[in-house]
Amino acid sequence: MLPRLEKAWSSVATGHSPVPFNAMHCPYCGAEDTRVVDSRPAEGGNTIRRRRECEVCRNRFTTYERREHALLVRKRDGSAEPFSSAKVVSGVNQAMVGREIAPGTLNRLARGVEAFAEEHGPEVSSSDIGHRVLEALRELDEVAYLRFASVHKEFEGAGDFEREVAALEDRT
């Protein structure tokens, strides 16, 4: 795990925890080396639920980690707003109008973008978010990809956009 991420989150262990919980000590043997095996947002995204495995005794336990600082998206005009995965979903939804999409795909995409934001947070730029969405869309649906790119103006200029279109055409 990135040190930056550890700093941005404060953690509370649940379950059997005989020791005070400053670092991610294993609640069974007290070892400090634990590995995250699964992470998912809980309580509407303010908390993250992690399954961890102790590298020493191999027991698994659950932590609920609360974000100390809001995950912020810095916009081009300099203002900031809290990260919203609902916003990612609605933006992608607009680009997906009329396109075939497998159930669950959008939520998976939004979770991926949120994980990216957490990894690079506590503050990320809206253009980094946009580029991450574009990366995901490029694999998913080329029409939606181009729509999203043009609507959200994530490219610096028309030249970039044309290069992207040309790159897509080269692939087919």
Q: Which residues bind Zn ion (CB under 5 A)?
A: 26, 28-29, 31, 54, 56-57
Strand positions, DSSP E, the chain: 9-13, 34-42, 47-54, 60-67, 72-74, 80-82, 123-125
Sign of the CA dihedral with 123 first, then 126, 128, and 134 last: positive
Closest CB 63 distance from Zn ion, rounded Å = 14
Beta bridge partners of 13: 63
- The amino acid at residue 6 is E
Whose Cβ is closer to Zn ion: residue 38's or residue 68's? 38
Residue 128 · residue 77 · CB < 8 Å: no
Whose Cβ is closer to Zn ion: residue 28's or residue 64's? 28
Closest CB 30 distance from Zn ion, rounded Å = 7
Whose Cβ is closer to Zn ion: residue 55's or residue 68's? 55
Closest CB 109 distance from Zn ion, rounded Å = 35
Two structure tokens written together for 123: 């503050």
Whose Cβ is closer to Zn ion: residue 2's or residue 57's? 57
Residue 136 · residue 154 · CB < 8 Å: no
Q: At what angle do helices 158-171 and 142-152 cross, to 10 degrees?
A: 180
Whose Cβ is closer to Zn ion: residue 31's or residue 42's? 31
Closest CB 95 distance from Zn ion, rounded Å = 46
Closest CB 66 distance from Zn ion, rounded Å = 23
Residues 6+ apart with CB under 8 A from 160: none
